[in-house]
Amino acid sequence: MSKQHPTKAQISYLKSLCKKYSLEFPLNEEEASRLDYKNAISEILEKTGGSAKNELPGRLKELFDINSQSSG
């Protein structure tokens, strides 16, 4: 996990969290691993009280719906 590239969902979710909470993007997108993204997302959720954690399933469904519409 520490050497794998991040998933599109991780990248999108982290960007959304940063935008929602007016945070600077904490990672170098070209060098960060899947684990780096996981840790950054967890850190933001902890600092914000985890309220965004409850939004994750809906956000992921929205991303998959958009992806399936554009490919189909």
User: Where does residue 40 rank: exposed (0-12), middle (13-18), buried (19+ CB within 10 A)?
Assistant: buried
Q: Chain-centre distance of CA 63, in angstroms?
A: 11
Model pLDDT, residue 51: 61
Q: Which two tokens stand for residue 55?
A: 């939004």
pLDDT at res. 56? 66
The answer on pLDDT for 6 being more than 70 is yes
Q: pLDDT value at position 1?
A: 73
The pLDDT of residue 54: 64
pLDDT, tens only, 9-47: 999 999 999 999 999 999 998 899 999 999 999 999 998
